Amino acid sequence: MRNKFFPVPVGYVSSVFEIVFCAVVLLLYVVFSIYIYGRLIDVPPVPDKLVMKEAFVYRGLSQASKTTYFLYLRVGADDAAYKYIIEASSRDVAYANFDKPQKLWVAVDSDRSKKFVWGVYDDNYGLLISRQDVLRWATSVNVGNYFILSLMFISSLYFIYIIFLTGVWNRVAAKRMACENK
């Protein structure tokens, strides 16, 4: 007997519980996909002109992985200030004391419409996190998120296939055969 990729027996009709279960799982996949899509980092094109803007560390570092930490910044000091979270390498933040609130400088786009930090500098304008590190971090986060989204899409298609084949198509075929056999 040949192994099939979709192991649904021929003529199998799903119960209402199985269809509802598949629909609920599909709905959870959609909700999780929307959450992951919201976590994608929008990387704008490299601007022509960058400006330095003051930023404050509003929370201590938290470990993201074995080699990276999350750095929580509040960019700007006026009413247009916004919070920004960036993942920094442990070597970049090893000698800086980010456990207490402190002032930093960040490089942002001059038109201020795009909320993206291109570099982080200390109070003496020493480079802490470079543009390449920021782009590498954003790219790696986006690659992981796109991979999860593609897996969710493929598994959602499989659930739709199962719902349609066993819940609709086989049910209609079984009713047609029952009517023909009367």
- Element spanning 57, H or E: strand 50-63
Q: How far is CA 89 from CA 57, 120, 127, 144, in A?
A: 16, 12, 13, 18
Burial 9-20, CB ≥16 within 10 A → b, else e: eeeebbeeeebe
pLDDT in tens, the chain (182 residues): 566 666 677 777 888 898 899 899 999 999 999 999 998 988 888 888 888 888 888 887 878 778 888 888 888 877 778 888 888 777 777 667 776 778 888 888 887 777 888 888 888 888 888 888 888 888 988 999 999 999 999 999 988 988 888 888 888 888 888 788 77
Integer-rounded Cα Rg, in Å, for the chain is 26
pLDDT value, residue 146: 96
